[in-house]
Amino acid sequence: MKAPQYPHYSKLRNILKEEQLDIYKNLTKKLSIIDSIDFNEVSIIKSSSRVLVMCYRGGIIKVIFAPNNIYKNELYYSHVLYPVNIYSLASLDGCMIFLPKYGLSLNKHKYSEIIKESHILERDICRQVMQLHSSFIVHNDIKPSNIVNTKNIPKDIYSWRIIDFGLSETHILSNPGRLYFENGTRDYNIPEFRKDITNLSESEQLFWIYMKDWYGVSRTFSELKNEESNTFSEFENKEEFKLNEEFVKPIVLGDVVKVFTKQINIELEYLYMYIDDMELSVILKVLRNLLKKHNIEETPYYLIV
Ligand SMILES: Nc1ncnc2c1ncn2[C@@H]1O[C@H](COP(=O)(O)OP(=O)(O)O)[C@@H](O)[C@H]1O
Ligand SMILES: [Mg+2]
């Protein structure tokens, strides 16, 4: 491998491992545009063994250090699901995707900042998940860091978007493919199903795979709420607060909680528990309510009666 030619290699040298730097060089050596990037303006959002996410002016550059059988899914689903054309380049052992730059992800927001728009957040996320599922796509990694604010994008139909299709899969009834129940992020989108689902029929297993996404949505909303409750805990006895049934009694908790209970579908935040318990009829009821509540037309196959 040649000595680093471009200033950005030396900048990335401190962040990337040797093998990653080689993949990066292979990817960029034919990309003349990379020479014109001012690396003083590049900020690193995330660096791990699998990815490097950088921000440059109005865009995001995501480098995936993985062979093409792994990155091709992310590339494919990003093409399908981002509202604009996605540019990308690939080598044998890596890939670089150029994405529009959205705002901060949900994990970087405090619930008190977004409490007024929690209805919009719920609507946007539910609508996108229903859309994905009605196209037989399971995202497989829904969580706060994969939900970003899009207010910086003029005329975006959503205020919040689901991003990161690295684990997305197509599952159709006649050909479910391999079902990975363990794929995802523990505590967010890997349910602890009450029964061993691998003993179920193929179509039943498929249903519970789709439920992983709703599990992620539900955990996200319940976490938002609980974080907010932590803010109150300094004013309240925590134990007593927990015992307070369903948090719906706003007596001592003031206006913020009142707004909260009005705006968030109280059932959505418990949905992950119903999924853990495999309470089929309750789950379907909650999901049908969401379709109705947010006027969502795209109906996933499992909600079509
Ligand atoms: N298009 C984007 N706009 C704004 N921020 C982004 C964008 N893509 C990624 N990010 C930020 O970078 C982080 C990591 O990117 P992500 O695609 O989720 O990588 P990974 O596959 O490692 O989870 C996200 O949590 C988000 O904060
Ligand atoms: Mg992510």
Per-residue pLDDT of 227-269, as tens digits, reads 765 443 333 333 333 333 343 333 344 444 444 444 455 689 9
- What backbone phi and psi angles, to 5 degrees, belong to 193? -55, 140
Cα 92 to Cα 90: distance, rounded to the nearest angstrom: 7
Q: Could you tell me how far CA 144 lies from the centroid of its own chain?
A: 6
In the chain, where does the domain assigned CATH 1.10.510 lie? 106-303
DSSP 8-state code for residue 248: T
So what's the pLDDT on residue 279? 95
Quick count: other Cβ atoms within 10 Å of Cβ 175?
Answer: 9
3 CA to centre of ligand 2 in angstroms: 32
Q: What is the pLDDT of residues 168-184, one digit of tens each?
A: 999 988 887 788 888 88
Distance from the alpha carbon of residue 294 to the mean position of ligand 1, in angstroms: 27
Report the distance separating Cα 305 and Cα 303, nearest Å: 6
**Environment of ion ligand 2 (residues, CB < 5 A):** 146, 164
User: Can you give the pLDDT of all 305 residues of the chain as single tens digits?
Assistant: 444 456 678 888 889 999 999 999 999 887 877 778 888 889 999 999 999 999 998 899 999 999 988 888 899 999 888 988 899 999 989 999 999 999 999 999 988 888 889 999 999 999 999 999 999 999 999 999 999 999 989 889 999 999 999 999 999 888 877 888 888 888 888 999 999 998 999 999 999 999 999 999 999 999 888 776 544 333 333 333 333 334 333 334 444 444 444 445 568 999 999 999 999 999 999 999 999 999 999 999 999 98
CATH 1.10.20 applies to domain 106-303: no
Distance of CA 137 to the CA centre of its chain: 13
The CA-based dihedral angle spanning residues 223, 142, 108, 55, taken in that order and rounded to the nearest 10 degrees = 170
pLDDT at site 1: 47
Closest CA to 34 of 23, 25, 44: 25
| Atom 5 of ligand 1, residue of closest alpha carbon | 102
Residue type, 267: E
- CATH 3.30.200 domain range(s) in the chain: 3-100
Phi-psi region of 278 (alpha: psi -120 to 50; beta: other; left: phi over 0): left
Place of tokens 């290699």: 9
CA-nearest residue for atom 25, ligand 1, is 145
Q: Which of 57, 1, 46 has its CA nearest to residue 24? A: 1
Question: Three-state SS across the chain?
Answer: CCCCCCHHHHHHHCCCCHHHHHHHHHHHCCCHHHHHCCHHHEEEEEECCCEEEEEECCEEEEEECCCHHHHHHHHHHHHHHCCCCCEEEEECCEEEEEEECCCCEHHHCCHHHHHHHHHHHHHHHHHHHHHHHHCCEECCCCCHHHEEECCCCCCCCCCEEECCCCCCEECECCECCCCCCCCCCCCCCCCCCCCCHHHCCHHHHHHHHHHHHHHHHHHHHHHHHHHHHHHHHCCCCHHHHHHCHHHCCCCCCCHHHHHHHHHCCCCHHHHHHHHHCCCHHHHHHHHHHHHHHCCCCCCCHHHCC
For ligand 1, atom 19, the nearest C-alpha belongs to 164
* Secondary-structure percent of the chain, ordered helix, strand, coil, rounded to 5: 50, 15, 35
Nearest CA to ligand 1 atom 17: 164
| Residue with the two structure tokens 């992950």 | 272
303 Cα: distance to centroid of ligand 1 (angstroms): 31
Specify the CATH number of the domain 3-100.
Answer: 3.30.200
Ligand 1 neighbours, Cβ below 6 Å, are 45-46, 51, 53, 60, 62, 99-102, 105, 145-146, 148, 163-164, 166
